[in-house]
Structure 1
Amino acid sequence: MKIIIRECELQDYVDIVLLNKNEMGYNYPAEDTKGQLERLLRDNNHKLYVAKVADKIVGYIHANNHDLLYAPHLKNIMGIAVSADFRGKGIGKMLLNEVENWARDTGAWGVRLVSGATRTGAHAFYLACGYTLKKEQNNFNKIF
């Protein structure tokens, strides 16, 4: 099985919608995803990579710059998803490596990510990839 990791392109949005829905439980409309992706692809503060097997996108990762007044510059993983049919084949690690390379190439101090409390399988994966659990926290929103 040949796995290709490449930068995301706008036409990848259809497969990303399915990954978001099937792997992460986010049922966000395809046209809205396309609009968001179009905007993010033009923004140098964001990087998106996809994993492709044959003609199908089977995974993706989205990262951005993370700059605070109390910590050095980091890259922040906003989302990562790999199709359940392709897990355990190194795709997630390959996607993480792309973001880690972007971080190194731009002088970032490291990479951070936040993962939902119930995603214990993902937590084990991140630990196996060398990430450490820094803290547990709550996530608050105010929607308008």
Structure 2
Amino acid sequence: MEIRRAKMTDAAALTDVVRAAYAPFREAGLNLPDVEAGIDDAIVETPVWLAVEQDVILGGVIVRQSDTMIQVENLAVHPGASGRGVGKGLLQTVEDWAREQGARGLQLATHADMAGTVAFYRRLGWREVGREGAKLYLAKILTENEP
């Protein structure tokens, strides 16, 4: 598996992966935001990494830098690649990049009822920092010092 930056030519395939990744949650009745919208814009405007194997996109992560924290906007892994370290590899890439940028940490919001997703982040050292309705806020501090 290779992790690389996304190109505009990857937008449609990444959108398909995001759609597939969130489909089980939508089918279970979770009210989720439109996570597929704006992927092409994100590739142009922000860092987007892909996990690729034999030219097939297995997953992707979209991030934004805000002040001293890196916001993970979307992490999506195709269900067929689940359990293969795709999400972990993508987040490690983001973490390494965040350190290079001098970021203090990473943050994200997820749906509180996505139990497997929340457990995944917690196993990787993320901690709950807030909750608003069904929205759960998580963070992973990389350094206690301000950059």
Q: TM-score range by the shorter chain?
A: 0.7 to 0.9
Residue in structure 1 matching 2:14, options 13, 16, 29: 16
Give the TM-score normalised by structure 1. 0.78
Q: Distance in 2 between matches of 1:84 and 1:41?
A: 22
Counterpart residue number, 1:109: 104
Q: Distance in 1 between matches of 2:35 and 2:132?
A: 24
Output aligned runs, 1:35-74, within 5 Å. 36-37=39-40, 39-43=41-45, 46-67=46-67, 73-74=68-69
Q: Distance in 2 between matches of 1:8 and 1:80?
A: 13
Which amino acid letter does the alignment assign opposite residue 18 of structure 1? D
Q: Distance in 1 between matches of 2:42 and 2:79?
A: 26
Q: Which structure dedicates a bigger proportion of its chain to strand?
A: 2
Q: Distance in 1 between matches of 2:35 and 2:71?
A: 23
Which amino acid letter does the alignment assign opposite residue 47 of structure 2? K
Are positions 1:119 and 2:121 aligned together? no
Give the TM-score normalised by structure 2. 0.77
Residue in structure 1 matching 2:5, options 7, 17, 20: 7
- 1:4 positional shift: 0.5
Deviation sequence 1:99-140 (CA, Å, 0-9, x none) = 111110011100011111221111010001111111211489
Determine what percentage of the aligned residue pairs are the same residue.
25
Q: Distance in 2 between matches of 1:42 and 1:23?
A: 22
Gapped runs of 5+ residues in structure 2?
Answer: 24-33, 136-147
**SS at 2:48 equivalent:** strand
